[in-house]
Amino acid sequence: MKKIFISVVSLILVMNANVDAQKTVPLYQNPKATVEERVNDLLSRMTLEEKIGQMNQFVGIEHIKTAEANLTAEQLKNNTASAFYPGFSTTDLENLTKEGLVGSFLHVLTIQEANYLQSLAMQSRLKIPVIFGIDAIHGNANAPDNTVYPTNIGLASSFDTEMAYKIARQTAKEMRSMNMHWTFNPNVEVARDPRWGRVGETFGEDPHLVTQMGIQTVKGYQGDLNSENDVLACIKHFVAGSEPINGTNGSPADLSERTLREVFFPSFKAGVDAGAMSAMMSHNELNGIPCHSNEWLMTDVLRKEWGFKGFIVSDWMDIEHLYDLHATAENLKEAFYQSIMAGMDMHMHGIHWNELVSELVKEGRIPESRIDESVRKILTIKFRLGLFEHPYADEKTTMKIRLNSEHRQTALEAARNSIVLLKNDGILPLTEKYKNVLVTGINANDMNILGDWSAVQKDENVITVLEGLKMVSPNTHFEFVDQGWDPRNMSPEKVNEAAEKAKSADLNIVVAGEYMMRFRWTERTGGEDTDRSDIDLVGLQNDLIEKVAASGKPTILILITGRPLGVEKAVEKVNALVQAWEPGMYGGEAIAEILYGKINPSAKLPITIPRSVGQIQMIYNHKPSQYFHPYVVTSSEPLYPFGFGLSFTTYKYDNLQLSGSEISKDENLEVSVDVTNTGKMDGTEIVQLYLRDKFSSVTRPIKELKDFARVTLKTGETKTVHFTVSPDKLTFLDKNLKPVVENGEFIVMVGSSSREEDLLKQSFYVKE
Ligand code: BGC
């Protein structure tokens, strides 16, 4: 009897223990455990298939449906902007997500879809949330109803790194409020070819400026990568796609290791040091090895040399392209093998990944430990971002964060600071004496001011140039002659109509440039995959400018474009030229404010503007021999140099002082200069410091930007601007690519642009 009693008691105890065990939350779901403990625990519970699924990313179901509805089968096959998974339906994708075999989605544009897809992932065995990635390049503009700031090239024109931080921070908040966790930005490529359509999404041609903007952007997005307002940044594209051999996106890059290390690597290395936890490889091959299978780039440089701890994602179909384009892999499976073994962690969409990678592991070609390495990094980010605790965003509160008044104000301020005045014969700022103003040109009244990487936004959230003019100068009559949005299909009649109306106007404003809006993917002339064999104004735009200016009435030209345009002929005909880039949602207001002198322009060019395509490569920081033999017939000078931009006031630079004329190799040199606002309007000047190593064991650029400062000065005010030249600014790579500071003379140049006549100069010497 006693025995029976004991057995019953033990049975009850065992049953209770089982119930408790079932109730016990697995370690990985305990937010109090460390991220490392959680990752280890989760990894130990995952099947091989679940692990490989974490490394895979798909476009969202709405994206697939839209592509399927709008494009022909042939277009879908050839159009890299619209993913298409032949034989794989949206239901298949939903099921895969429920099985826990999808790690990430991209191109999900609404909170509803994001929450829905996440709810599918939450039905999976281990409930691992998906991470949503999106190209939030200038605000989360690619999705509707978000704040749209100027694109990176405009932001770089402000030389305002604090603004870069602020925009990234605000973008992170808007993204998280709609359940987006990962932005494919900053693009920290150094853009050295304006034929390439993607210049607008870069910070321009200078390694130092790109680096500084990149660092602050990474910091702004990520915070400490620990809160519900942080998003994962992605430094991209690694590397050298911004100097493609023929200017076209993804064509080969053939560059020496010296150029890579001096020009293209520093901004990526700085991004890693700033804590960026994801990186994207670039489409192109580099010196014969596609970046997507480039072990030197992914493993040796990024991870081993720089200590990158985040994960690497492939770009659009680029692992596939090892097989179907570069032809370094004989089939898809081999392509996956090459890429993973070179260091790839996540595959940007495409089917077959899960099964083929699984086969590769089972065949013993890829060790499971290699898969674990990648999955560990991806899970670490998911834990750090709090996705396990907060897989959803709140549909009720999202619109309180997106487009809030603080963010809108930042967009306006950023636009004001990004617009570069390149020519002004005195006509600007405008007064109300011009009663009748003709406004024309493809970008005069179009949402295209939003720029590339933007969805169509609600009309009420965009101020076009025409609308801005009417707001800023309500007593002026603006006569609008619509030229349509499409530079390639302008009508000669409309051009003539504008020319006719110009005769009776007091002033003409032509808003020209390129067309970048993504919803008309195949009709664009600027942005991703719109590379050009010239850099002229497309269509009848030159004709329009010429005919309007022939009226004899003053004419102002405004350019909306992401890349520099060689507008030499047009410039001769106009009284003022405004380079407005892609200024974002309030671009029209900011442009009008500048034209009417409500805002004093302060921006400077972050990239050289060549006169013509034949001058390419044209960069300010070229080697001494580049123009030893200048071009015959045409000029060897740029149309506008790097760092150049006019203001409505004037600034005087004097009293350039160095802390000494000699320093040792590990010493800092202090530099100061007095800058005075000598004109009649308060303003902000961007003070630039360049260095040249006068004689060196390997050739060095004729000058290199090493520091800059934004200084606000009231009329008549003088401020002393201080810079520190630390040894790293004097360092270059010697014959063996080893960093070195050499003895000898260096020249410090400080001034308002990279142009010789704009710089004060002084020498100093480095001694042993
Ligand atoms: C671009 C990437 C982008 C990706 C996802 C690719 O075509 O090269 O920069 O992040 O698409 O949209």
The two most distant CA atoms of the chain are separated, in Å, by 117
Ligand 1 atom at shortest distance from the alpha carbon of 107 = 12
Grade residue 74 by pLDDT with cuts at 50, 70 and 90. low
pLDDT digits (tens, 9 = 90+) for 159-171: 999 999 999 999 9
315 is catalytic: yes
Could you tell me which residue, 103 or 71, shows the higher pLDDT?
103
Q: Is the CB of 201 under 6 A from ligand 1?
A: no
Q: Whose CA is nearest to atom 12 of ligand 1?
A: 135
- How far, in Å, CA of 580 to CA of 598, rounded? 16
pLDDT digits (tens, 9 = 90+) for 304-341: 999 999 999 999 999 999 999 999 999 999 999 999 99
Tell me the average pLDDT of the chain.
95
Q: Does residue 87 come out as left (phi exceeding 0), alpha (psi in the -120 to 50 range) or beta? A: left
Q: Whose CA is nearest to atom 10 of ligand 1?
A: 184
Using a pLDDT cut of 90, give the percent of the chain over it: 92
pTM for this predicted structure: 0.96
Checking if the pLDDT of 78 tops 70, the result is no
**Burial of 630: CB neighbours in 10 Å, binned 0-12, 13-18, 19+:** exposed
Report the pLDDT value the prediction gives residue 24, as an integer from 0 to 100: 86
pLDDT digits (tens, 9 = 90+) for 565-623: 999 999 999 999 999 999 999 999 999 999 999 999 999 999 999 999 999 999 999 99
CA of 61 to the centre of ligand 1 (A): 18
pLDDT (average), residues 257-283: 98
CA of 290 to the centre of ligand 1 (A): 16
pLDDT (average), residues 97-109: 97
pLDDT digits (tens, 9 = 90+) for 659-676: 999 999 999 999 999 999
Domains of the chain, CATH where assigned: 31-400 (3.20.20.300), 419-627 (3.40.50.1700), 651-766 (2.60.40.10)
CA distance readout (Å), 341 to 48, 54, 101, 234, 361: 17, 17, 21, 21, 12
Checking if the pLDDT of 213 tops 80, the result is yes
CA torsion 250→256→257→263, rounded to 10°? -70
Residue 760's DSSP bridge partners are 750
Q: Whose CA is nearest to atom 7 of ligand 1?
A: 316
Q: Whose CA is nearest to atom 11 of ligand 1?
A: 316
Q: What is the DSSP string of 45-81?
A: H--HHHHHHHTEEEE-HHHHHHHHHHS-HHHHHH-TT
Q: Is the CB of 184 under 6 A from ligand 1?
A: yes
Ligand 1 atom at shortest distance from the alpha carbon of 529 = 7
- How far, in Å, CA of 318 to CA of 293, rounded? 10
CA distance readout (Å), 716 to 332, 445, 565, 688: 67, 38, 36, 21
Report the pLDDT value the prediction gives residue 564, as an integer from 0 to 100: 98
Grade residue 428 by pLDDT with cuts at 50, 70 and 90. very high
- How far, in Å, CA of 630 to CA of 154, rounded? 31
CA of 278 to the centre of ligand 1 (A): 14
Q: Is the CB of 315 under 6 A from ligand 1?
A: yes
Pocket test for ligand 1, best of 63, 316, 529 (most atoms within 8 A of CB): 316
Q: Is the CB of 135 under 6 A from ligand 1?
A: yes
Question: Catalytic one among 230, 315, 446, 531?
Answer: 315
Closest CA to 298 of 224, 238, 235, 388: 238
Report the pLDDT value the prediction gives residue 5, as an integer from 0 to 100: 46
pLDDT digits (tens, 9 = 90+) for 268-280: 999 999 999 999 9
Report the pLDDT value the prediction gives residue 59, as an integer from 0 to 100: 93
CA of 46 to the centre of ligand 1 (A): 30
CA of 282 to the centre of ligand 1 (A): 9
pLDDT (average), residues 751-760: 98
Checking if the pLDDT of 154 tops 60, the result is yes
Q: Is the CB of 316 under 6 A from ligand 1?
A: yes
CA of 348 to the centre of ligand 1 (A): 9
Report the pLDDT value the prediction gives residue 70, as an integer from 0 to 100: 73
Pocket test for ligand 1, best of 135, 138, 284, 292 (most atoms within 8 A of CB): 135
Report the pLDDT value the prediction gives residue 85, as an integer from 0 to 100: 73
Strand boundaries in 316-372, DSSP class E: 347-348
Q: Whose CA is nearest to atom 2 of ligand 1?
A: 315
Peptide bond before 186: cis, by omega within 30 degrees of 0?
yes
CA of 316 to the centre of ligand 1 (A): 6
Checking if the pLDDT of 471 tops 90, the result is yes
Checking if the pLDDT of 86 tops 90, the result is no
Could you tell me which residue, 224 or 5, shows the higher pLDDT?
224
Using a pLDDT cut of 70, give the percent of the chain over it: 95
